[in-house]
Amino acid sequence: MQEAMSVPNGKKRLVLALAGYGTVGTGLAKVIEENRDWIIERSGSEVVIKSILVRDVKKPRNFPVPAGATLTDDHEALLNDPEVDVLVELMGGIEAPKKLIAAAIRAGKHVVTANKALLAEQGLELFELAAEHGVHLKYEASVCGAIPILDTLKENLAGNRIMRLVGILNGTANYILSEMTSNKLDFATALKQAQELGYAEADPTLDIEGLDAAHKLCLLTRLAFGVNYPFEQLPVVGVSKVEPEDIEFAREFGYRVKLVGQVQEVDGKIEAGVFPTLVHHTYLIARVGGAYNAVRLEGNACGPIFLHGPGAGDLPTASAVLGDILSVARGAYPNNTGFVRQVPPLANIMSPDEASSKYYFRVIVRDVPGVLRDLAGALAEQDISIAQAIQKEKGAAEVPVVFLTHEATARAVKAAVEGMKAKGLVVREPVYYRIL
């Protein structure tokens, strides 16, 4: 960090350069202005924004540029300014932010970012670079907004071995599923409503197809288990194909459908993924509604811990960014990865086909005698047994049969589905989801 500059009251000050001045950037400026005195009380430093990198300096802003700060479209103005202590990267994307962050680290500046895609896909070399230069690369805001899950894993629970972590990691998907559950909306209507409220982007692909949650799960896996589970190898299923009838059938069994990211160690291997899951209504995570996020983890010393809060938005995300900034202001020693080793070893990955879980099935069959017996037989051929079953609309030509199974591997479930289809037992593609 550059040598702190003195101010008239004798306190230090930390000088920031922002890259990006959109929703989070303007939220950060607002919180810094509103909480200026409180920030000094907490950190002993005044935090000031000196320069803001934007694409168009003439574009109107939602929040005024802070007093004393200037807008610029010149990257070098941030990197070459010796007064700037911290680069706050809020641009989004991968290649341009990566180049900017790497240059800032080489210039001896600390970095705070909310860029989960960059850190999940290409972050390891940035952590290694930050260690070489002895600077902070902090990223609390990249996962679950205001929820302090990353520092919880890096600091507070550092003495624990984490055994399992399950989270609702994307507020957009959770809002959509909540509306489908509570107000019986179909997916398209719930998505449109989320977009109108600002919870979903015009192109919602990253959110509804589970990719945003997968980026976050990669970062959580590194911090919780000290290993790298490559993003491109992570099994991911989104919510775009979840149908209202499955939400209703799940409710009849006492479950809620949630998009969860899960990672756990099983027999020395890491099993992880993002997928729609049935969660029993008595679990706290099943009750997380709207655009909120939540994480449940289990440590061998701390036991189960549940964290819940707003997962996105200007002020919640700015809160996490500011927390990282104040850690730098206090002169904390960089603890970027939570481990002495900055580049974690590759995880010993369990094949997704070997992952074991209980399952929910919905199959459409012809209403003929013995069909449930034949379905049970197709499952039994793969050593899968039915725990509960219901059949609706008896008397119609085609009827749904819905059942829950005991524990089974994903490989066995896929083989059972192929068996049902080969025997002509189903008239549509079966629907099946894991049960938490």
| 423 labelled ligand-binding | no
277 is in an annotated binding site: no
Pair of tokens at residue 328: 């730098």
Q: How many Å apart are CA 79 and CA 25, to the nearest integer?
A: 18
H helix runs in 71-228, sequence order: 75-79, 95-106, 116-122, 124-133, 149-151, 171-182, 187-196, 205-208, 211-225
* Cα–Cα separations (whole angstroms), residue 29 to 87, 254, 307: 14, 45, 26
Rounded to a whole number, what is the distance in angstroms from the first to the last CA of the chain?
Answer: 45
**DSSP letter assigned to residue 185:** -
Residue 21 assigned to a binding site: yes
Distance CA 433, CA 405 (A): 11
Q: Is 20 annotated for ligand binding?
A: yes
Does the annotation place 329 within a ligand binding site? no
Q: Is 24 annotated as a binding residue?
A: yes
Active-site residue numbers?
216
Asked whether residue 257 is marked as a ligand-binding residue, the answer is: no
The answer to whether the CB of 233 falls within 8 A of the CB of 346 is no
Taking alpha carbons only, the member of 176, 189, 353, 196 closest to residue 247 is: 176
The residues with which 259 forms a beta bridge, in sequence order, are: 276
How would you label 295-327 residue by residue, b for 16+ Cβ within 10 Å and e otherwise? bbbbbeeeeebeebbbbbbbbbbbbbbbbbbbb
- Would the annotation count 116 as a binding residue? yes
Known binding site for NADPH: residues?
116
Known binding site: residues?
19-26, 116, 201
Known binding site for NADP(+): residues?
19-26
